[in-house]
Structure formats: structure tokens, C-alpha cells
Amino acid sequence: MTKRTARVGIATAAIGTLTLGLLAGCSAGDTSGDDSMSTLEKAQDEGTITLAIASEQPYSWVEGGEPTGATIAMHEQIFKSLGIDNVKVEEVDWNSLIPGLNAGRWDVISAGMSILPERCEEAAFSDPEIMYTTTLVVPKGNPKDLSDLDSIAASGDVTLAVQSGAIEEGYAADLGIANTVQVDSAQAGIEIVQSGRADAFALTAVSMNWMTEDMDDVETTQAFVQEIDGVEQIGAGATVFRQDDTELLKAYNAELAKITADESTYLGLVEPFGFTAENLPPADLTTEQLCSGDLS
């Protein structure tokens, strides 16, 4: 079967983020041009930090002109504890998040981004914040009786939508799923199923359950943990920093630990957005382990 790949979705909102030469004279951890201050020091001095989001509910999005979501709730508390009261957001497409971070367009990525070895080569990740499972968005009634990505691979007659750059895109490739359609956002993935141009869309379960809750033409399958070559794929999201921003990362992790060490504190921030205790990372799961690709 020949591979059919298309691209649909929102327009790229950060054109030119790869043009690092535009930022000549600025260090990777200093976006203001003042090399005497670190990103943390500048944010504390100005009282403002800029976050990039991919507008994926319920992690982080803008509603009524104000940022909201589970990762926003955590970040507002953590940065306030660091003396930074004002959190600004930039909405961009998913594939522009890390390039824009490294180009100095924003200070931090607040998108619940999964910790993957290839991403760790490009940026620095905080300690794990949110555990993931996957689901499929399918037409109401699930006419092709899909349950997980294995069922799609076995069918051979299913068109799967995947978000470009998301872990589910990698899962599909590893499983040899040929008929894929790339989309640039979670909303675009839902819409392509609604229009009949794809039979299913794979993304994190908490996102898809939240975003499709009031829709009468699509539904989600039971959440699942995908296996690749017999190994369960651990999905854990974190906040993303420039690799040079070690001071900011260390300070952030210290405050994050106060949240993840106490289940009631964690749930107080994320439960209003559909997350549960199952999303709280285990204490022995480390960023170093996930960056190394060790999923045993």
C-alpha cells in the first residue's frame, strides 16, 4: 500500500524562528541583549516571563483573552513563588515551539510536551509533570471498531490523522501505519475526522476527552498505553527551557517538586482541567531516564 501523506491545519505562527542569525549578540539564555543577567534574573527584575503554548486544551490555551489550563495553573504558581507575577503567552503551532525557544522568541514552553530523546538534544526539560495515555477520536459509533493504534495497523484500511511532531506520529511510523494525514493542531485533528477525511485521530486521552466532550458527531475510544516492540511507551510531559538556562531550570524544578510531592496540591491545580491522580508522575521517574530512551 502506498503512503498517502497530506498536511492541513493552522498557519505557522512563528515564521522565521529558525533564523538564529537575527539574534546575533544575544546568548541562548538571554533574550534581552543584556549578557550580565540570566533569564531568571531578567524575569525577576521585570516581573514577567513569556511562555509559548500550542493551544491544546486542557493543557494551555487562551480564553476570553486570558491564558488558562493545567500547565498554566502550575506555571502561575511556580513563577509567582520565584518572584515573577506576570505570565505572558504566545500562541504558536506545535513545530515552532522548540525552534522559537532557542531563537529567543519566548522564555519557556508551556505545552505539556512529552520528554523524548530527540527533543532532549534540542532543549532542556523539567522534571516530569504529567503522565499521558493515548486515545483515538473516531466518528460517533466507532464504525470501524478501532481500539488502539495496533487495530489501525492491522486493518490496513484506515486513514489516521496525527499531529505533526507529536509522539503519536512516531508511534504510527514505528507500527508501519501507511495512511496518515498530518495536522498542525489538536483542533485540526478533530475537524478532519468530523469532515470524513480521516477515520481516526490519535492524541493524548485527557486532551481529546476534554475537547470532544460536547460534540455529538465524534467520540473517543478507551484510553490506552501504546506498545512498540513489546515495550510500553511511557508518556510524560514537562516544561521546556533553553539548555543554557540552567539557573531557571533548577529554580523551577525546586518549586515543581513542592507540587508533585503532594497529591492534594497537585490535584488542586490540575483537577479542574480534567486531570486525575493517574496523571501524577511516579517519584522514581526521572527526566534523565526518559531522555535516554530507557522505558524499561
Q: For position 4, what pLDDT does the model report?
A: 33
Q: Does residue 175 form part of some domain?
A: yes
Give the model's confidence band at 165: pLDDT under 50 very low, under 70 low, under 90 confident, else very high. Answer: confident
Q: For position 295, what pLDDT does the model report?
A: 72
Q: Does residue 140 form part of some domain?
A: yes
Instruction: Tell me, yes or no, whether 72 and 41 share the same domain.
Output: yes
Q: Does residue 24 form part of some domain?
A: no
Question: What total number of domains does the chain contain?
Answer: 2
Instruction: Tell me, yes or no, whether 260 and 115 share the same domain.
Output: yes
For the stretch 272-285, pLDDT in tens is 999 999 899 999 99
pLDDT at 20 over 50: no
Q: Of residues 12 and 100, which shows the higher confidence score?
A: 100
Instruction: Tell me, yes or no, whether 126 and 255 share the same domain.
Output: yes
Q: For position 217, what pLDDT does the model report?
A: 98
Instruction: Tell me, yes or no, whether 49 and 108 share the same domain.
Output: yes
Answer for the pair 113, 71: CB distance below 8 angstroms, yes or no: no
Instruction: Tell me, yes or no, whether 125 and 138 share the same domain.
Output: no
Instruction: Tell me, yes or no, whether 148 and 115 share the same domain.
Output: no
Give dist(CA 190, CA 196) in Å, integer: 10
Q: Of residues 171 and 10, which shows the higher confidence score?
A: 171
Instruction: Tell me, yes or no, whether 121 and 261 share the same domain.
Output: yes
Give dist(CA 287, CA 130) in Å, integer: 12
Q: Does residue 287 form part of some domain?
A: no
Question: In the predicted model, what is the mean pLDDT of residues 93-122?
Answer: 95
Give dist(CA 278, CA 272) in Å, integer: 14
Q: Does residue 103 form part of some domain?
A: yes
Give the model's confidence band at 152: pLDDT under 50 very low, under 70 low, under 90 confident, else very high. Answer: very high
For residue 69, give its domain range.
37-131+238-279
Q: Of residues 235 and 255, which shows the higher confidence score?
A: 255
For the stretch 62-74, pLDDT in tens is 999 999 999 999 9
Q: Does residue 185 form part of some domain?
A: yes
* Boundary residue ending a domain (201, 224, 247): 224
Instruction: Tell me, yes or no, whether 182 and 193 share the same domain.
Output: yes
| End-to-end CA, the chain | 33
Q: Of residues 178 and 247, which shows the higher confidence score?
A: 247
Q: Does residue 1 form part of some domain?
A: no
- With helix as H, strand as E and coil as C, how does the chain read? CCCECCEECCCCCCCCCCCHHHHCCCCCCCCCCCCCCCHHHHHHHHCEEEEEECCECCCEEEECCEEECHHHHHHHHHHHHCCCCEEEEEECCHHHHHHHHHCCCCCEEEEEEECCHHHHCCCEECCCCEEECEEEEEECCCCCCCCCHHHHHHHCCCCEEEECCCHHHHHHHHCCCCEEEEECCHHHHHHHHHCCCCCEEEEEHHHHHHHCCCCCCEEECCCECCEECCEECCEEEEEEECCCCHHHHHHHHHHHHHHHCCHHHHHHHHHHHCCCHHHCCCCCCCHHHHHHCCCC
Give the model's confidence band at 232: pLDDT under 50 very low, under 70 low, under 90 confident, else very high. Answer: confident
Q: For position 233, what pLDDT does the model report?
A: 86
Pseudo-torsion of CA 4, 203, 250, 262, nearest 10°? Answer: -170
Question: In the predicted model, what is the mean pLDDT of residues 45-55?
Answer: 96
Answer for the pair 4, 182: CB distance below 8 angstroms, yes or no: no
For the stretch 179-188, pLDDT in tens is 999 999 999 9
For the stretch 23-35, pLDDT in tens is 333 434 444 446 6
CATH number of the domain at 192, please: 3.40.190.10
Instruction: Tell me, yes or no, whether 67 and 83 share the same domain.
Output: yes
pTM for this predicted structure: 0.77
Instruction: Tell me, yes or no, whether 242 and 220 share the same domain.
Output: no
Q: For position 100, what pLDDT does the model report?
A: 98
Q: Does residue 55 form part of some domain?
A: yes
Query: Across the chain, what does the average pLDDT equal?
Result: 88
Pseudo-torsion of CA 146, 148, 153, 158, nearest 10°? Answer: 40
Instruction: Tell me, yes or no, whether 145 and 219 share the same domain.
Output: yes
| Range in 56-60, 138-142, 149-153, 248-252 with the lowest mean pLDDT | 56-60
Give dist(CA 78, CA 255) in Å, integer: 6
Q: Smallest Cα–Cα separation from 111: which of 237, 209, 279?
A: 237
The cell numbers describing 140, all together, are 460517533
Instruction: Tell me, yes or no, whether 205 and 255 share the same domain.
Output: no
